[in-house]
Amino acid sequence: MAPMIIAFVWMMWEHGSMIAWAVSPSRLSEGRFELIVLHIFAHGGLLHIAFNMVALAVLGPVVMERLGPLRLRSFFAFMVLFFGAGLGGFAFWLALNQNSEIPMLGASGAIFGLLGFLMRQPDPQGVPVPLFSPQLARAFVEWIKLHVPLLVLFAIPLLFGASNVGLAWEAHLGGFIAGLLLCGPLLWWCGGGPDWVTVD
């Protein structure tokens, strides 16, 4: 959280916005590959970063709990999940917007990756819910029922965010899918058991 807040304050103070860190196909064609990572730290305005930081503050500790006792390995696994989901969200957005001139920024894809992780690991003591299973579909429906306020929290920046950047649903969905896929391997790496273990 701290690096994102510091980056936001600095960029807003120096430039008045973070649009310079937003990623787009045209900027990538110019060789601005650093934006693939920097866009995760960028936000469209105070409301955008405020809601993302609240969501991260709520979800982050829960994910860390699922990853096991706080140690270097679990912290590294969290970083892999967060940035892996952010990059997965970027890749999915780019695949569907190759000709778009509207830049995209924000950590929402990475945060949706945390949601995807928790969707597969709702129980701290359980094994991951199998992918492509009725259990995962039921977990998805139940999660939506229980977390309507959190979904509203994510929707507000989309409705009132900056109009000159893309707060893309593709990045949210891509990050969520990345979180689903990364859950099993990261739990296994942290000592939570193999991804292929399932329960009836």
Report the pLDDT value the prediction gives residue 200, as an integer from 0 to 100.
36
Percent pLDDT > 90 in the chain is 33
Tell me the average pLDDT of the chain. Answer: 81
Nearest to 143 by CA among 110, 126, 159, 121: 121
Range with top average pLDDT, 12-21, 62-71, 184-193: 62-71
**35-56 average pLDDT score:** 87
With a cut of 90, say whether residue 86 has pLDDT above it: yes
With a cut of 80, say whether residue 166 has pLDDT above it: no
Based on the number of CB atoms within 10 Å of its own CB, is 151 exposed (0-12), middle (13-18) or buried (19 or more)?
A: exposed
**83-95 average pLDDT score:** 96
Lowest mean pLDDT: which of 36-50, 94-108, 126-140, 148-162?
148-162
Neighbours of 133 (CB within 10 A): 12
Tell me, yes or no, if the pTM score tops 0.85. no
**157-180 average pLDDT score:** 72
Token pair belonging to 125: 């003591």
Q: Is the model more confident about 115 or about 141?
A: 115
Structural domains for the chain: 2-189 (1.20.1540.10)
Report the pLDDT value the prediction gives residue 92, as an integer from 0 to 100.
96
Say which DSSP state 174 is in. Answer: H
Q: At what angle do helices 169-189 and 46-67 cross, to 10 degrees?
A: 20
Q: What are phi and psi of 195, to 5 degrees?
A: -65, -25
With a cut of 70, say whether residue 20 has pLDDT above it: yes
Report the pLDDT value the prediction gives residue 180, as an integer from 0 to 100.
93
Cα 160 from Cα 55, distance rounded (Å): 17
Report the pLDDT value the prediction gives residue 196, as an integer from 0 to 100.
40
Report the pLDDT value the prediction gives residue 137, as an integer from 0 to 100.
82
Contacts of 107 by beta carbon, 8 Å cutoff, 6+ apart: 4, 40, 41, 43, 52, 56, 86
Count of helices and strands (H, E) across the chain: 9, 0
Report the pLDDT value the prediction gives residue 195, as an integer from 0 to 100.
44
**1-29 average pLDDT score:** 81
Nearest to 90 by CA among 134, 33, 135: 33
Q: Is the model more confident about 139 or about 80?
A: 80
Q: Which residues of 45-78 are buried (b: 16+ CB within 10 A; e: fewer)?
A: beebbebbbebbeebbeebbebbeeeeeebeebb
- pLDDT tens for residues 104-128? 988 889 999 999 999 888 777 667 7
Cα 150 from Cα 118, distance rounded (Å): 14
With a cut of 80, say whether residue 183 has pLDDT above it: yes
